Structure 1
Amino acid sequence: MKALSNEGAFNLFLFLFFMVIKNFLKKNNLELVEQIAKGWTSFVYLVKDSKGNFFIAKSLREKANRRDMVERESENLALANSIGVGPKLIETDFENNVVLLEFIEGRIFMEWLFFTPKKNELEKFLKELFDQAKKLDKKGLDHGQLAGKGKNIIVRKGKPVIIDFEKASAKRKAGNVNQLKSFLFVNPHSAIPKKVKEILGPDFDKFLS
């Protein structure tokens, strides 16, 4: 029997992977709207129920220890939810390795920031964001991915929602507040601190304390 080429094997993997999400959707009476993201460890889909309510279905794709990853993400998110942080965890399906989450409609933080919110809007946003980071630190849950381009911070109606707890951990020292301070106010290689300072003006320094 002729072995599959790398391309053929990959296409077979994608087909089998799609069947997994299809089984999950059928089981939960959900409809696929679109695939909205693809990462090293997961595919992320926008789905909806019969009433038109939208959700996020995150299907983990890593071949090894996928059950562990599903369990870890659902446990991390449940812990965050217990203190009012993150999208709501709706369901964890270990059979299909899928996590179903609340859909957060809004802008990625960096996009929102460069649309130049008013000073008071940014101040309120930052206060709420740091309040959430402090709660996570107190709970001992380190998100680990709050920097970069701010892709894991969504702005919904002017308020922050921290997303993607896949690589969070309650086993390492929580440093969410410090990571946010570096990301928003210090990083010399990013345009974000410069933009934040431009909007906040003289009040920029009070967030560093």
Structure 2
Amino acid sequence: MTEFTPVQSLTFEEFGQILCYPRPERDEFHLRQKELKLLGVNAISFTGPTKIKDRQILGKGCVSLVIKAEMNREIVALKIRRVDADRPHMSHESSMLRLANRSGVGPSHRGSTKNLLAMTYIRGLPISRWVETLSGRGQKTKVRQVVSAILTQCFAMDNAGLDHGELSNASKHILVDGQGIPWIIDFESASMTRKPNNLTSIVQFLFVNPKMAPLIEKRIGHIDRDALFPLLRSYKKSATQELLAEVSRHLGI
């Protein structure tokens, strides 16, 4: 069972390296403590695959750290803006996640402040790891179902005018949970001003990327890329439901 530590009992010496990564400052620490209280975060869990000094966390990026937390009796993934981030607040990612949610994509937005962003905690594996660990019967069906769901989510974002921005290398940006449901995460680079290329980017990652494509093809069979690329070019010009269906049929989904 995961142990949670009440936020009010965390000291600067214990939590400063996480709340104010990578340069802990007492004044900033106390400001961010107040944000935790304002957001309703009452406890955190030092658990996950990433280590920051002597603490385990869920992840670390260029903009934020991610920790597991308890907020209003719900387990959430909490992003904490790095003090050396190239942006002054979390409002952009917060608004992009809300927009994604309107299209049925991404973990549910649970609240945000200047330096914090809370969302539904997804217990899952990065998609490449998920595919690698598949074994036994039914692998082909499972991969087809996950890929189909990802394409549907990307199509929804394309039609909403929201470009994720990092799906051409989606190894860290898609989690697959225990029920085989894929979740697109990390909307810090998303944009409503760029032309959306979500579906074309994810298809190239899954079926062209030299590391990912062999894992997928091993489970669902060979893909004719020479015939795939013209379909993707057509889709880029007009992201229609009909072209989505045609791309899916070509991929055997």
When normalised by structure 1's length, the TM-score is 0.82
Query: 1:82-115: per-residue Cα shift (whole Å, max 9, x none)?
Result: 0110011111213xx2111111111110110111
- Whichever residue aligns with residue 128 of structure 1, its letter is A
In structure 1, the partner of 2:130 is 112
2:87 is equivalent to residue 77 of structure 1: no
Match of 1:140 in 2: 161
Of the candidates 71, 82, 99, which is equivalent to residue 117 of structure 2? 99
The 1-side partners of 2:133 and 2:29 are apart by 37
Instruction: Tell me, yes or no, if the aligned pair for 1:25 and 1:32 is still in contact at 8 Å.
Output: no
Residues 1:162 and 2:176 aligned together: no
In structure 2, do the counterparts of structure 1 residues 20 and 44 end up closer, same or farther at CA, with 3 Å as the change threshold?
farther
C-alpha distance in structure 2 between counterparts of 1:22 and 1:116, whole Å: 41
1:150 has 2:171 as partner = yes
- Determine the C-alpha separation between the residues in 1 that align with 2:97 and 2:76: 15
TM-align CA RMSD: 2.4
Shift of 1:201: 1.7
Comparing 127-136 with 139-148, greater Cα deviation is found at 139-148
Counterpart position of 1:32: 44
Change (3 A) 1:126 1:26: same
Q: Which of 168, 176, 189 is the aligned partner of 2:198?
A: 176
Out of 123, 140, 147, the position equivalent to 1:126 is 147
Which one is further off, 32-41 or 81-90? 32-41
Give the Å deviation of 1:44: 1.3
Alpha-carbon distance in structure 2 between the residues aligned to 1:191 and 1:39: 22
Equivalent pairs counted in the alignment come to: 192
- Among the aligned pairs, what percent are the same residue? 28
The 3 A distance-change label for structure 1 pair 64 and 144 is: closer
The 2-side partners of 1:173 and 1:132 are apart by 16
Residue deviations 1:55-82, cap 9 Å, x none? 0111112456413xx1211111111000
Letter in 2 for 1:191: K
The 1:24–1:192 alpha-carbon spacing in structure 2 relative to 1, beyond 3 Å, is same
CA distance 1:20–1:36, change in 2 (3 Å): farther
Q: Is the 8 A contact 1:185 1:208 kept in 2?
A: no
Q: Which runs of 5+ in 2 are unaligned?
A: 1-19, 47-56, 225-249
SS in 1 for 2:171: coil
Larger RCO, structure (CA 8 Å, separation 6 or more): 1
Summarize the Cα distance change of 1:11–1:144 in structure 2 as closer, same or farther, 3 Å threshold.
closer
Q: Aligned partners of 1:182, 1:163: CA distance in 2, in Å?
A: 18
Match for 2:75 among 42, 50, 54? 54
Cα distance in 1, alignment partners of residues 21 and 182 from structure 2: 38
**Which residue, 77, 84, 87 being the options, matches 2:107?**
87
How far apart in 1 are the matches of 2:207 and 2:75?
A: 35
CA distance in 1, matches of 2:21, 2:145: 47
1:49 positional shift: 3.6
Distance 1:86 1:49 in 2: 19
The 8 Å contact of residues 36 and 44 in structure 1, kept in 2 or not, is answered as: yes
Mapped to 2, the partners of 1:46 and 1:66 lie a distance apart of: 23
Question: In the alignment, is the contact (CA less than 8 A) between 2:91 and 2:113 conserved in 1?
Answer: no
Q: Is the 8 A contact 2:170 2:202 kept in 1?
A: no
Q: CA deviation at 1:148?
A: 2.5
Residue 13 (1) aligns with residue 33 (2): no
